[in-house]
Structure 1
Amino acid sequence: MVVLGGGPGGYEAALVARRLGADVTVVERQGLGGAAVLTDVVPSKTLIATAEWLTIAERAPELGIRTGGDRPAVDLSAVNARVLALAAAQSADIRGRLEREGVELVAGTGRLDGPSRVVVAPEGGAREVVLDADTVLVATGATPRTLPTARPDGERILTWTQLYQLDALPERLVVVGSGVTGAEFAGAYQALGSDVVLVSSRDRVLPGEDEDAAELLEGVFRARGMTVMSRSRAQSAERTADGVAVTLADGRVVEGTHVLIAVGAVPSTRGIGLEEAGVALSESGHVQVDRVSRTTARGVYAAGDCTGVLPLASVAATQGRTAMAHALGDAVAPLQLGTVAANIFTAPEIATVGYSERRLQEQGSRYVTTTLPLARNPRAKMLGMRDGFVKLFAHPEAGVVLGGVVVAPRASELVFPITLAVAHRLTVDDVADSFTVYPSLSGSIAEGARVLHARDRERVV
């Protein structure tokens, strides 16, 4: 087995393949863990965790805690040093685990030379290495999308991979793009102390998420002093004498000290021999795969962001594990996207799983729903939490839990009971009959299930 890419899809696949007895080589040019560990998930969530402490500190006065009145000072250089150190440590842990399992690691850039051969160009111009393979897994990930009129320079015009090189907090940060990445960094830097302007080409932030959750988060952003510019498409960004100027499509100019371009990602699939090997790519450049990660070329599989299935590390890892299990004849379950839990690491966080309300409405499904404000939860009251809610969707007759949304601090931890319910087709009665700790935030999930049990079944959406 030869794995192109050492991110979650690649290294998880390698571990599965080794346990099933295969000889495995992983080709990685950036470092083990890939972008997820080195420049994306681990660094961004570490930065956000630091910012979270400052949002918690905002609640101190209402909890009866007296402070000196001065806002805590943020040493961004120290913050970023910690961010990068943790990413490097995680990468080293992954390397150590792969080496202990007997996986061969090759540093360099790989390309396919047909469906059963990989050619690696090592760093430094050394002689190419040729690897023959019974099976190849492509897990090359994606890179930040840029605008031709806003070329990142790593100093003032930045992608999210370049933010960790800053040694001082941006005085005024313009964030272009209000999707998940844009919203997360906008919220984090606002909490750290930057004046943030969020430029959104859509009607609201997080246009692809639950409407109630997105509306709540935008309200929180505005209440904390962030400027949110809706229906404002960025046309270009250029350096000025002491900062940047972002020109919008309608001619308005937004000035700042720095600008973050967060307008999506581009799959890293071009120029590595995929199409020549018979691997079909979509118009967007993503590798086309089925539910067990097979491509259109025999013996070639793909996993992760290069496939465009769902840009989540958890999905990449599942795709990689599934691919190797299928290739080696082990029992395998096709990928079930309906059971994937996702989280947006803003403050509050937004976690979702199962059917969304939009999808239920678009496909004409009958469902019952309930929304419980977080402010009614006793544990939330004790912790000074006001912004958030728990929303559940269920089948009106069978009572099966169809999906849910949690908006709360650490929603990523709270959504797991709903994930279990969706994955195992539990009913609202199954959830309601399970004990929860009192007081606890998870108590709102059980309470929501009880509401759906008692709700007049004629009130069907």
Structure 2
Amino acid sequence: MPSSNTCALATSFDVCVIGGGPGGFAAATRAAARGARVCLVEARELGGVCLNTGCIPSRAIGATATVCSLVRRGERFGVKTSAPEIVWPDVLARKDRIVRRLRDGLTQLARQRRIELVAGRAVLQGAGRVVVASAGSTTTTVLDTKTVIVATGARPRGWAVAPFDGRRILSSDDLLRIPQLPQRLAVIGGGVIGCEFASYLAPMGVEVTVYELAPQVLPGQDPDLANALEASLTKAGVRVFTNARVTAVTPGAADMVIHMASGAEPEPGGGGGRQRDLSTRPGGGHPHPPVHVDQVLVTIGRQPNTANLGLEQAGVTLTPSGHVQVDRHLRAAAQTVFAVGDILGRHQTAYTAGEEGAVAAENALGALQTVDYAVVPDCLFTLPEMATVGLTEPKAREHGHTSVAVSRIPWSVSGRAQTLDETEGFVKVVYDSSDQRLLGVQIIGPRATDLIAEAALALKQQMTLTDLVRVLHAHPTLSELLWEAAAQPLGRALYVR
């Protein structure tokens, strides 16, 4: 924090939220709705990673990729088209317009809800005082508060083999502002972010190569889904190397050279595809011919923004990885400090952070609420999309279910999918055959991230297959696929045996 020449008079609040992303904004709005006096401190832009450098801008680019794919298939719809031409500056301009519009909306909502917005970097001075240093200024603001909710998010994890430089070695943030698309791109890390960008850039004409240390892309994900996505990526022209260890990235005169060994063991504990360390280790593997690329995108996980916040001095306990330790009520060791979102190292999604923010706000004002992590949809906005909720077949057995069964319905049986020329994918329902209780749902296919909401509701309500089948589903819709998957074990499926 810069040195201060002046100090504004202390201002008192019931709740001070540090970080204006999905978790922080949800916490501030919920506390304000409860009548609390709330301030929201944000060092950069309101909306956090999700709105500014994550979910929204990358989905905007994904939408462009979808249009490219559709244009190339135009003749299959009876429409003659020419090859699409990507005007990358226009793609970025559209992305920026969307982000700016949504960010302005958040600012207006905060003002309408009488949330005090404070721009600057916050540091805790004990559990009840926050000092905010304004960017580019020596002025600080002192905020006295009864409770603090920390929601400072995470950032791309750097890679020792090739540190970020913003030009040739890119983070996911960097990729969203490069002036032009590369002809050839290496993606280090085949987790969620890496696979999403690979699936977006390939339809735009970029030659993409993905390197994943684990035996499959999306480590920790259902192997059926991971294998289906890898097949889709390969069909789109993406080269995918699994069990692959990148041993060096060397700069050439006009490109970068990727040196790889295969056959290495995956890093211990590297599940989930969201928090992994792909740093190289000596030994192991067999050398492969080097691959020449123009740029390298490093997507090996994210690290929490918990340094230099004064957390330890305020009595907050951090894990060795820098995540905040909290109890089931999201309360840190310091009883008046709560933490939510990516800094917890749990489900690194905007919607989970939002729920945590709302719960933390309630608890900061005296409640004892908890977050139900048992039914959290996991959505991947790859092309095609993927979404899961509940238990996979192996996980169901690990949880003690002894009569686990699976119903799987291919996307191609859907009349709606046929009309859309989107027939790749499937819906898989995991259930307990002893009582027909739904245990989990996995989907890969167009709009999977929208379809998973019904499955989440069914799991939340502890529905059986019969309960789900009794709900009428309109025809022709993609949602019928979930109905078919539930109906099949009951002998009621219409389009499959």
**What is the TM-score when the length of structure 2 is the normalising length?**
0.88
Please say if residues 76 and 166 of structure 1, whose CA atoms lie closer than 8 Å, have aligned partners that are also in contact: no
Distance, in Å, in 2 between the alignment partners of 1:273 and 1:187 is: 40
The residue that corresponds to 1:458 in the other structure is none
Contact 1:110-1:121 at 8 Å conserved across structures = yes
**Residue-by-residue CA offset, 1:89-137 (whole Å, 9 max, x unaligned):** 2112111110111111111111111111111111113222111111100
Contact 1:368 1:452 in 2 (8 A): no
- The amino acid that maps onto 2:469 is A
Shift of 1:430: 1.0
Q: Which runs of 5+ in 2 are unaligned?
A: 1-14, 262-285, 493-497
Question: Normalized against structure 1, the TM-score is what?
Answer: 0.95
- Match among 240, 243, 246 for residue 234 of structure 1: 246
Q: Secondary structure at the match of 2:146?
A: coil
Distance 1:58 1:219 in 2: 19
Within 5 Å, which residues of 2 pair with 1:442-461? 442-454=479-491
Amino acid at match of 2:395: R
What SS class does the counterpart of residue 218 from structure 1 fall into? helix
Provide the residue aligned with 1:72 in structure 2: 84
The counterpart of 1:325, out of the listed 350, 355, 362, is: 362
Corresponding position of 1:301: 338
Does residue 166 of the first structure (1) align with residue 203 of the second (2)?
no
Residue 340 of structure 1 deviates from its aligned partner by 0.7
CA contact (8 A) 1:293 1:320 kept: no
Cα shift at 1:394: 1.4
- In the alignment, which residue of structure 2 is the partner of 1:280? 317
Which residue number corresponds to residue 48 of structure 1?
Answer: 62
User: Does the Cα contact within 8 Å between 1:135 and 1:299 map onto a contact in 2?
Assistant: yes
Deviations 1:148-194 (A, max 9, x none): 22111111110000112222221001111000000000110101110
- Residue 279 of structure 2 corresponds to which residue in structure 1? none
1:246 Cα deviation (Å)?
2.4
Question: Is the CA contact (8 Å cut-off) linking 1:147 and 1:236 kept in structure 2?
Answer: no
Q: What is the one-letter code of the residue matched to 1:63?
A: F
1:364: Cα distance to partner?
Answer: 4.1
Higher mean displacement: 136-145 or 356-365: 356-365
In structure 1, what residue type is equivalent to 2:390? G
Pick one of 111, 122, 145 that aligns with 1:133. 145
Contact 1:236 1:247 in 2 (8 A): yes
Give the corresponding residue for 2:264: none
For 2:44, the equivalent position in structure 1 comes to: 30
Distance 1:444 1:358 in 2: 23
Distance (Å, rounded) in 2 between the aligned partners of 1:420 and 1:203: 33
2:370 matched residue in structure 1: 334
Tell me, in whole angstroms, the C-alpha distance in 1 between the residues paired with 2:333 and 2:391: 29
Amino acid at match of 1:429: T
Aligned-pair distance for 1:24? 0.6
* 8 A contact 2:72–2:83 mirrored in 1: no
Match of 2:386 in 1: 350
Residues 55 and 347, structure 1, Cα contact 8 Å, conserved in 2 = no
- Where does residue 430 of structure 1 map in the other structure? 467
**C-alpha displacement at 1:55, in angstroms?**
2.2
Deviates more, 1:135-144 or 1:231-240: 231-240
The reply to whether residue 396 of structure 1 matches residue 433 of structure 2 is yes
Measured at CA, do residues 58 and 211 of structure 1 come closer, stay the same or move farther in structure 2, by a change above 3 Å? farther
CA distance in 2, matches of 1:287, 1:115: 15
Letter of the 2:391 partner, please give it: Y
1:245 is aligned to: 257
The count of corresponding residues between Structure 1 and Structure 2 is: 452
CA contact (8 A) 2:72 2:84 kept: no
Q: Deviations over 1:275-325 (max 9, x none)?
A: 121111112111112332111111100011011111000000000000011
The whole-number CA distance in structure 2 between the counterparts of 1:226 and 1:20 is: 50
Counterpart AA for 1:292? H
Q: Which amino acid aligns with 2:463?
A: L
Cα 1:251/1:125, change in 2 over 3 Å: farther
* Per-residue CA distance 1:250-291 (angstroms, 9 max, x = gap): 554321011100000000011211112111111211111233
CA RMSD of aligned residues (A): 1.5
Q: Which residue of 2 aligns with 1:375?
A: 412
Q: Which moved more, 1:104-113 or 1:234-243?
A: 234-243
Residue 142 in 1 paired to residue 154 in 2? yes
Task: List structure 1 segments (4+ residues) > 6 angstroms apart after TM superposition.
Answer: none
Residue 91 in 1 paired to residue 91 in 2?
no
Helix, strand or coil for the counterpart of 1:135? strand
Q: Name the counterpart of 1:101.
A: 113
1:391-441 per-position Cα deviation (integer Å, ceiling 9, x unaligned): 111122222211101111111111111111011111111110111111111
Whether the 8 Å contact between 2:169 and 2:297 is mirrored in structure 1 is: yes
Answer yes or no: is the 8 Å Cα contact 2:411–2:423 preserved in 1.
yes
